[in-house]
Structure 1
């Protein structure tokens, strides 16, 4: 929640600077990168004013067998060390569940569900190990997919697995074409995540939605839908994310 007289800044990636973007660096190279950040004055003050931690991070654990592309390059310790050097307070390792481009329902005994439970144990052990040594605390999470099973929206990870995690993001990545732009379907899928007791955050809330720009009447209906959804989210104590790579519409942030 923002302060009454203030609003969250819209972050422009181009202004952050290319020196903050890693390309598979590790160990001494990360140390050198941190020196460059320090020489340049660190992160912009306006970002540090609001950004005290990262609640959406993919480690190498997110690059699952069969994905055929990298979702994360760094291991827990490398990422945590980097954020510790930046002076942040926390990082949530929100690993991917099933393939975002082709989500599928996971059973509690599936390899992905079991890997998330193991991921949670490792993060919790790391937190104990670094207690008193690091300011930046690691938390175990997941970026689950909001998907459809037949005509019914659902999350791909079962509740009994979500219940073991510290933090859960639910995102619409790939839904059936006929479910992508109809406001009723959009609302139904988002509401299914909002009412889930284990979901904390709706990921990149208006990604892949073109309805709001097609005509004034559609835009009006779209924003009215979001007013109602935000009311539901407030009652359920949910949030939506402000993501550098998929920033929500400024109007949604202002609402």
Structure 2
């Protein structure tokens, strides 16, 4: 069990305790222990049992709980809490904006034991009559419950990618499998996945099916399986697995059909002709041969969405998509100056050691009190340290930035003289998220028109599978960025991926540059650059239109030009 999983279990325990009205000091102990574990640089699973109680913030009792977590995935008091709580009530913790105390009222006073009960309670107008609720709260809750229900059965791509890799490795070892690949949403690298889909070519389906079912970790659901499909689960993966079988000669035809969004397959190519018809005409020896037969350039799997790519493929004008090795620096990162886990030096040296040319540090601004936002004197201290580190680490460079909060009226939360001291500014909304489209759009437009704004951060504030995000007029915001020369962030955190990839192409058409930013709060967070890259590629992002594909000299000139 990883530290992140231990933290999650302790956080869940603290919520369950709060739900049942347990001692607040005891609850705080669990929360403190969870935060302590999150900040560790060593995995607890690698520690000796006797070392755990010695960690500051972890007492003997908590150490015993953690030891049980490592041994069996739970601990005694948590077992009892879960036994005393309906499973559907535990699922209510996923509802954004409603904590354990509110859920306790909905359960104990409202009688809701699951999300479906809760939605019905809202629809009947009964929630507004409960203590601590009102008509507006009821409406907000109903929207949040519906969003949570819509997210059922899905998982973030980043969370299921390791299972995909392990399954593909298992196929590699089976001699009866001639060709194989992931397919469907998984191969298109969608941000959320509901099923791990694979395509396997074999000359003996039954023998291959038996082999797959015998591989450690696979568990077939015979009721859902069919003559040409294997359905079941893979160890620890929370979403189902589906394996399609086909003959070796039919592999590439089936791969194109199963990979693509139906809109891509049925988009007109020449008159009424579409790609699906071409696929069905004969057997092909490669995907490229299929696209060529259709008179198209080969479209990479992640772009096969039916958005804009077919028209470009017909004209042989598909973009050369940005690659990981095109990225020269990492912007929008946090250090211990605000709410990051690692120091400025650690963040810089790790960035350098990964082969990047520069780091853009952008800790939280002073309005973000919850995140240790920087006061004026801290800004000066950090900039002095940056100057010192730049002398020491040259030619690697740290750029001084800030993630400045966009206030309710759209203004940034430092006076102009402070804003002017930074190399670049990421402007982001972090509070007052409950806005209608007019309020949210005007708030962003005001920030975009601020001459100090360099990059617009996580445009909608969404948290994938957790929070829908405030509604914005994407076209109006992108058009304003085009007018003002403001870069739009692709926040690469798998929890955000914001701006949504579906708007990347429009931004590019308008001449707006994008920046793939991990929003890293620790050194390991840099790896999220990969997920931002996938989102950018889905929208057609090229290195020429990616801000942090500029080398050090280019981006230095860019920032200097923006400041002027």
TM-score range, shorter chain: 0.5 to 0.7
Task: Verify the 8 A CA contact 1:120 1:141 in the aligned structure 2.
Answer: no
- Separation (CA, whole Å) in 2 of partners of 1:47 and 1:74: 27
The 3-state SS of whatever aligns with 2:406 is strand
Q: Retained in 1: the 8 A contact 2:460–2:470?
A: no
CA distance in 1, matches of 2:387, 2:399: 7
**How far apart, in 2, do the equivalents of 1:184 and 1:101 lie?**
27
Provide the residue aligned with 2:501 in structure 1: 250
Distance in structure 2 (CA, Å) of the matches to 1:100 and 1:147 = 11
Q: Distance in 2 between matches of 1:83 and 1:47?
A: 18
Matched, 1:227 2:466: no
1:95 and 1:118 mapped to 2: Cα distance?
A: 13
* Structure 1 unmatched ranges of 5 or more: 1-21, 27-45, 63-70, 213-221
Residues 20-45 of structure 1 show CA distances to partners (whole Å, capped at 9, x for unaligned) of xx96439xxxxxxxxxxxxxxxxxxx
Where does residue 113 of structure 1 map in the other structure?
376
- Out of 327, 331, 348, which is 1:51 matched to? 327
- Are residues 1:236 and 2:490 paired? no
1:60 partner SS: coil
1:97 aligns with 365
* 1:50 Cα deviation after fit: 4.1
- 1:143 pairs with 385, 393, 403, which one? 403
Q: Which moved more, 1:194-203 or 1:49-58?
A: 49-58
Structure 2 CA distance for aligned equivalents of residues 155 and 205 of structure 1: 15
The CA distance in 2 between the partners of 1:72 and 1:211, in whole Å, is: 25
- Conservation of the 8 A alpha-carbon contact between 2:367 and 2:413: no
Aligned to 1:157, what secondary structure does the other structure show?
coil
1:161 aligns with 2:177: no
User: How far apart are residue 228 of structure 1 and its match?
Assistant: 2.3
Measured in 1, the distance between the counterparts of 2:403 and 2:455 equals 9
Work out the CA distance in 2 between the residues paired with 1:58 and 1:195: 25
Q: Find the aligned partners of 1:142 and 1:80 in 2 and give their Cα distance.
A: 16
In the alignment, is the contact (CA less than 8 A) between 1:124 and 1:140 conserved in 2?
A: no
**In structure 2, what is the Cα distance between the partners aligned to 1:192 and 1:102?**
24
Distance 1:211 1:164 in 2: 31
Cα 1:247/1:100, change in 2 over 3 Å: farther
Query: In structure 2, do the counterparts of structure 1 residues 114 and 240 end up closer, same or farther at CA, with 3 Å as the change threshold?
Result: same
Q: CA deviation at 1:137?
A: 1.2
1:64-83 paired onto structure 2 within 5 Å: 71-83=339-351
Distance in 1 (alpha carbons) for counterparts of 2:492 and 2:369: 20
User: Is the 8 Å Cα contact of residues 124 and 139 (structure 1) preserved in structure 2?
Assistant: no
Q: Considering only CA atoms, is the larger Rg found in Structure 1 or Structure 2?
A: 2
Please, which of 431, 437, 442 is the counterpart of residue 183 of structure 1? 437
| Separation in structure 2 between the aligned mates of residue 254 and residue 24 of structure 1, nearest angstrom | 40
Q: Which has the higher contact order (CA 8 A, sep 6+)?
A: 1
Deviates more, 1:85-94 or 1:119-128: 119-128
Q: Classify the secondary structure of the residue corresponding to 1:241.
A: strand
For the 8 Å contact 1:146–1:173, the answer to whether it is kept is yes
In structure 1, the residue matched to 2:291 is none
Deviation at 1:131, TM superposition (A): 2.3
Aligned to 1:86: 354
Contact 1:61–1:75 at 8 Å: present in 2 too?
yes
Other structure's SS at 2:407 match: strand
User: Matched residues in 1 for 2:433 and 2:442: separation?
Assistant: 14
2:410/2:445 contact within 8 Å kept: no
Q: CA deviation at 1:153?
A: 2.8
In the alignment, structure 2 segments of 5+ residues that lack a partner are 1-37, 43-321, 463-467, 507-564
Aligned equivalent of 1:205 = 459
Q: Is 2:391 the partner of 1:125? A: no
Question: Once the 2 structures are TM-superposed, how far is the Cα of residue 127 of structure 1 from its aligned partner?
Answer: 1.0
TM-align CA RMSD = 2.6
SS at match of 1:142: strand
1:174 corresponds to 2:448: no
Q: Matched residues in 2 for 1:145 and 1:250: separation?
A: 24
Do 1:204 and 1:243's aligned partners in 2 also have CA atoms closer than 8 Å?
Answer: yes
| Superposition TM-score, scaled by structure 1 size | 0.63
The separation in 2 between residues aligned to 1:173 and 1:126, in whole angstroms, is 30
Paired residues of 1:92 and 1:141 also in contact (CA < 8 A): yes
